[in-house]
Structure 1
Amino acid sequence: MSQNDHAKEAERLMRLVANAMDEQAVTQAELARRTGYGRPYISRLFKVDGDKRVATLPTALHLANALGLVTVTSEEDA
């Protein structure tokens, strides 16, 4: 998978994460607690402008996993 493909997949997952947060009534603070990320970092991932951060594919997968959208396992678990 190319770097561009990774970025597109991360964007797609982040849209799913945002929708799931709305559907599940999960706050950014709760998502931070579930993932172990800091609340300010989570906030910047969802910011529309200004000090916005772009989620990497591993970050997007971690967030999606915390919401039950995907299951992430290590190669050792497979």
Structure 2
Amino acid sequence: MAGRSDEAGEAFEGEATVPTRAETARYVADMTAELARMARAAGLPLVAYFLDMTHQEAREAENPQRVPRRRPR
């Protein structure tokens, strides 16, 4: 069960807070950037490409007020 928090977002003693959407997106972006570097170093270009795409999507999700980029048709 997820931890409860007060109105200021502070966890009650002994309970964890649930990360926000932006916090989760930032974490995913950080992790996939590192994994992409590892994949490139290991000679896995396709894996690195997919991780780079995931990194980009997570960065965009972190800042939803930004104008989304146009996707090719």
Same-fold call, TM cutoff 0.5: no
Higher helix share: 1
The structure with more radius of gyration: 2
**Normalised-by-shorter TM-score class:** 0.3 to 0.5
* TM-score under structure 2 length normalisation: 0.41
With a CA cutoff of 8 Å and minimum separation of 6, indicate the structure with the bigger relative contact order: 1
**TM-score (normalizing by structure 1):** 0.39
